[in-house]
Amino acid sequence: MPLYDYLCSHCEHQDDVLGKLSDAPVLDCPACKNKTFNKQVSAPHFKLKGSGWYETDFKNKPKPEGNKKSNEKTTKLTKTEASKNND
């Protein structure tokens, strides 16, 4: 669902409103109750809901330690093979 920026031309109250594209625009200012609440032109905003998004599932996930250990094993094998070749 997109977020819309609204500004009251009477009291200059500013707010973000979450709504569908098909919803009617909000006209009443929540601060002064006048019908001077207008939608502003702004950069697009949206809210990710559900799972499977980077923001909800992967952003704060710690990196797995398995890759680091597998690299150490490979390095150890290489050193062992090198010592065998020197003998």
Number of domains in the chain: 1
| Spatial distance between the Cα atoms of 53 and 18, rounded to a whole number of angstroms | 19
Residue 54 has pLDDT above 80, yes or no: no
The enclosing domain of 76 has a CATH number of: 2.20.28.10
| Spatial distance between the Cα atoms of 36 and 59, rounded to a whole number of angstroms | 39
Q: Where is mean pLDDT largest: 26-30, 75-79, 83-87?
A: 26-30
Contacts 24+ apart (CB under 8 A), 67-76: none
CB 12 within 8 Å of CB 36: no
**pTM above 0.75?**
no
Structural domain range at position 47: 2-86
Residue 11 has pLDDT above 90, yes or no: yes
Q: Which of 4, 3, 7 is nearest to 37 (CA)?
A: 7
CB 7 within 8 Å of CB 29: no
